[in-house]
Amino acid sequence: MKPGLKLKSSLFLAVLLLMTVMALSFLILSGVKNNQIRQNETYLTEQGVIAGNYIKQMYLMESVKDPEVFVKERGTELVKRFEMLTQMQVVLYDMNGEEVADSIPLAAKTDIKELLHYALKDINTYTLEGDTMIFLAPLHNSGKQIGVVQFNYSIQKDRLFYEKLEQLFWYAGIFIFISCFLCGYFYINPITKGILNLKHTAQRIEEGDYSDIKPLKRRDELGDLSRNIYYMGNRIKNQLEEMKAEQDNLKMAVEKLEILGVQQKQFIGNVTHEFKTPLTVIKAYADLMNLYQDDPKLLEEAKGNIDTEISKLTTMIDQVLTLSALENYNFEFHPEQIALDLVMKEICDRLMSKAKQHNITLHMELDQITILADKERMSQVFINLIDNAIKYNKEEGHIWVSLNENMGEACIQIKDTGIGIPEEARDKIFTPFYTVNKAYPGSTGLGLALVWELVKKQGGRIELLENPEEGTLFEIRYPL
């Protein structure tokens, strides 16, 4: 299992603080130690200079001409004097490196031949032995080295001070490390939590889960990044939803195209079949006219039937073209404000004579209503419905045409006392080329299909209602 970001950041912070505290402690303690040595070295160098000046002063007061001989003869006296002045153990050496006099016990002496070698070459030198600093300083007279003086200087106080300072740095370092680590941890922890939150958010987006994605409440770059991821996730979610909606629309369009393809095949088959019947009749009578040209009665009958079939064929072609144009969305409407009651009265007046020929009474109950519609197409709707009510009515039957306002809509009802429509055929009457009763001549099965499309295209709806009496009852509603 890989270590997490929180563990890595905590370890990094701990190591960084530890290295910082250790480095600072090492540098400061090393500086203190070096400073102690430099101070001691400066002090002992000054003591060597004082010892040399003292020898020079005493030499001038004596009759001895050779300074080196003076050092050897008066060595014991000089050592005692230097010990009294400096409060240190002192050893005096001549230029041959031989000890002239000393104030050091025999058991405490240390081998300093190597240091003495450098001191005889006019170089200050020292070494550390426990709590003692052994310092060798050259002695001069008139610019010439005449010997070497050794001071044994106690550095116990410096060592104790250094140890206390080192102990203090340990305590302070531990305290600073813990306090800084806790402060850093509580500062970095929200950042790492925010980064982990962004990681989990990105993983959910990658897996397609866009629920419960919230931006971090931070006023820094991490907050900006969180808000950008939040908006990006919402944008991706919206785009995916739009793509899914488009996909569903495409699927529905494909399904609709498949249905339209089947309907087109059925439509073409029905058109072909319906056209074939009148054309067969026309061809049959044309053949009879050619065979019996001398029979006036047959010729008259043939002409009448041919005219009837041609009229039927013409009507069928007009209806097919109109219906095809409506279904292919290239049919033009010219809506205008029309007085619907006047349009319906005009159509009823035009069909009144046809109704009287079949001994049918046409009743009208029309309120004054104005709607926005195509007058010509609206007339086609009512002509088809009232003509069917006449055509499929009974002898001495009745037709009721009513217009009124109902629930904010123009409500038209056309009711007749005709043969009615069987229950099993009620869902099919608006299908092209479907005829309820094949025995009735002149029916193409396109009238109600055309009415359905014309009503729907103008924002209305048509419905075949249950008629408690005999006959049929159609209701059409248009928005006012």
> What is d(CA 388, CA 391) in angstroms, rounded to the nearest whole number?
5
**Based on the number of CB atoms within 10 Å of its own CB, is 321 exposed (0-12), middle (13-18) or buried (19 or more)?**
exposed
Residue type, 339: A
Q: Please report, for residues 94, 262, 380, 400, 468, the alpha-carbon distance to residue 347 in angstroms, rounded to integers and kept in the order given.
A: 154, 37, 9, 13, 27
Question: pLDDT for 191-218, tens place per residue?
Answer: 777 777 777 777 777 666 766 667 667 7
DSSP 255: H
pLDDT band at 108 (very low <50, low <70, confident <90, very high): low
Residue of higher predicted confidence among 463 and 226:
463
Q: How far apart are CA 445 and CA 435, in angstroms?
A: 5
* CA atoms of 372 and 339, how far apart (whole Å): 9
Structural Rg of the chain based on CA atoms: 63
Q: CB neighbours (10 Å) of residue 431?
A: 16
pLDDT mean over 109-134: 86
Q: Does 326 have pLDDT greater than 60?
A: no
- In this prediction, residue 368 carries a pLDDT of 93
The candidate with the shortest Cα–Cα distance to 465, out of 479, 455, 476, is: 476
Q: Rounded distance, CA 266 to CA 295, Å?
A: 42
Beta bridge partners of 139: 147
pLDDT at 64 over 70: no
Q: HSE (CB half, 13 Å, CA atoms) of 397? A: 23
End-to-end CA distance of the chain: 73
Q: What percent of the chain has pLDDT over 70?
A: 81
Residue 462 token pair: 């048509």
Contact predicate 230/215, CB 8 Å: yes
Q: Is the pTM of this model over 0.75?
A: no
Which of these, 408, 335, 410, 337, lies nearest to 369 by C-alpha position?
410
Residue 60: Cβ within 10 Å count: 8
User: For the chain, what percent of residues have pLDDT higher than 90?
Assistant: 11
Min mean pLDDT across 69-78, 344-353, 399-408, 432-441 is at 432-441
- Mean pLDDT calculated for residue range 34-42: 89
Cα-based angle 255, 259, 262 (whole degrees, multiple of 5): 140
pLDDT computed for residue 369 by the predictor: 92
Which conformational region is residue 459 in: left (phi greater than 0), alpha (psi within -120 to 50 degrees), or beta? Answer: left
Please report which helix (H) or strand (E) contains residue 89, including its range. strand 89-93
**Is residue 278 scored above 80 in pLDDT?**
no
User: What local confidence, expressed as pLDDT, does residue 410 receive?
Assistant: 92
Query: What mean pLDDT is predicted for residues 86-97?
Result: 87
Contact 149, 55 (CB under 8 A): no
273 has a pLDDT exceeding 80: no
- Return the closest-CA partner of residue 473 out of 391, 399, 396: 399
**172 pLDDT tier (thresholds 50, 70, 90):** confident
Please state whether 433 falls in left (phi above 0), alpha (psi between -120 and 50) or beta: left
- Helices (H) and strands (E) counted in the chain, each on its own, are 10, 12
Q: Measure Cα distances from 22 to 8, 19, 81, 159, 171 in Å.
A: 21, 5, 47, 20, 12
Q: What is the pLDDT of residue 447?
A: 75
Q: Are 346 and 382 in contact (CB under 8 A)?
A: no
CB 90 within 8 A of CB 102: yes
pLDDT tens, residue by residue, 428-479: 887 776 666 655 555 556 778 888 888 888 889 999 888 767 788 999 999 8
**450 near 380, Cβ under 8 Å?**
yes
Instruction: For residue 352, give the nearest of 411, 415, 399 by alpha carbon.
Output: 399
* Rounded CA separation 447/412 (Å): 18
Give the sign of the dihedral formed by CA 58, CA 62, CA 66, CA 71.
negative
